[in-house]
Structure 1
Amino acid sequence: MNSPHYILLPANPLFIVSSLVLAFLLNLLPWGHWVGVPDFVALVLVFWSIHQPRKVGIGIAFMMGLLMDVHDASLLGENALSYTLLSYFAIMIHRRVLWFKIPTQATHVLPLLLFMQTVQLVVRMLVSGKFPGWSYFLESIVAAALWPIVSAILLAPQRRAINRDDTRPI
């Protein structure tokens, strides 16, 4: 038998904003030069673009990209372009992805993250002409591996109680 599909509570906009801020703060930590550290903003943007496409869309992805451009001191618009395309394609497939279980969702998210990194790489190579090496794409693989954990954490406030009783309203 398939596991039951739970009815989720509506997402709290304050929780969405706080998760995006926390992801941005995680990206601000000085581990950006380590190989394989995922882009937390991209991961949270993909999650909310899939689960709440009407609340988190291309405009928020663009603004978060500009913030990351300023933080990284990179070419202005590099992250904004890649996050915008990431959000767009995540919104395009959001209905399909939600039908699958979490591990299969991670396999759908991986090409999105790889595409985002490819866009960033193309922009960087057009400007500087330097290829960072194939380990550059390890970031997307680690982010896709973290998808089940991120999904569990970000969906936790929306889960309804399994055993309903008279003392709980929902």
Structure 2
Amino acid sequence: MVSTRSRNGWMIWMTFAIGMLLSVVPFPHVEILRPMFLALPLAYWALEMPHKIGMASAFCLGLAQDVLFGTLLGHNALILTLITFLILSLQQRVRMFPMWQQSLVILVVLGLAQLLQLWLSALTGNRQTLAVLLPALISALLWPWVSFGLRGLSRRYKIN
């Protein structure tokens, strides 16, 4: 009997590690335009492989990001869990959309996540402006390249 178990699931977690590393790389002059580097691969893998990446994975990644950034524990966990929940609830539809419509869905989902981050920041006493929505826009513009890149990675390493 041939085993159908994937041996390359570690590549999914490698993309998350790269996303976390890119999240902490300093971009001093364009910090406000920083894409949501961890949310993009999380959204892709939740969209393509909901049986492997779910809300528990998003919560754990969010906790790791909270520790990495030194933010309130659960702040990023809640945001990444919301992103994953929305992607999983729309997964069957979004997979059938052309790439430009997928980018619009990503814009809305990440925009809602950024609004939640704005609200949580206001609750903790940090005042921010609506410019916090710019990372969602930049991430949506990057979505086609992230999607094609991760799809190629998935095919090359036969991740299933």
- 1:144 maps to 140
2:32 corresponds in structure 1 to: 35
Deviating above 6 A after TM superposition, structure 1's stretches of 4 or more consecutive aligned residues are: none
- 13-22 or 151-160, larger mean C-alpha shift: 151-160
1:107 aligns with 2:104: yes
1:13 and 2:9 correspond: yes
Q: TM-score, normalised by structure 1?
A: 0.82
- Any gaps of 5 or more consecutive residues in structure 2? 1-5
Contact 1:11 1:158 in 2 (8 A): no
From 73, 77, 93, the equivalent of 2:74 is 77
Q: Distance in 1 between matches of 2:91 and 2:51?
A: 11
Deviation at 1:159, TM superposition (A): 4.0
User: Which structure features the higher share of helix residues?
Assistant: 2
Aligned-partner Cα distance in 2 for 1:48–1:129: 32
Which of the pair has more CA radius of gyration?
1
Q: Structure 2: which amino acid aligns with 1:93?
A: L
CA distance in 2, matches of 1:39, 1:12: 25
The normalised TM-score by structure 2 is: 0.87
SS of the aligned residue for 2:50 comes to: coil
What CA distance in whole angstroms lies between the structure 2 residues aligned with 1:120 and 1:138? 13
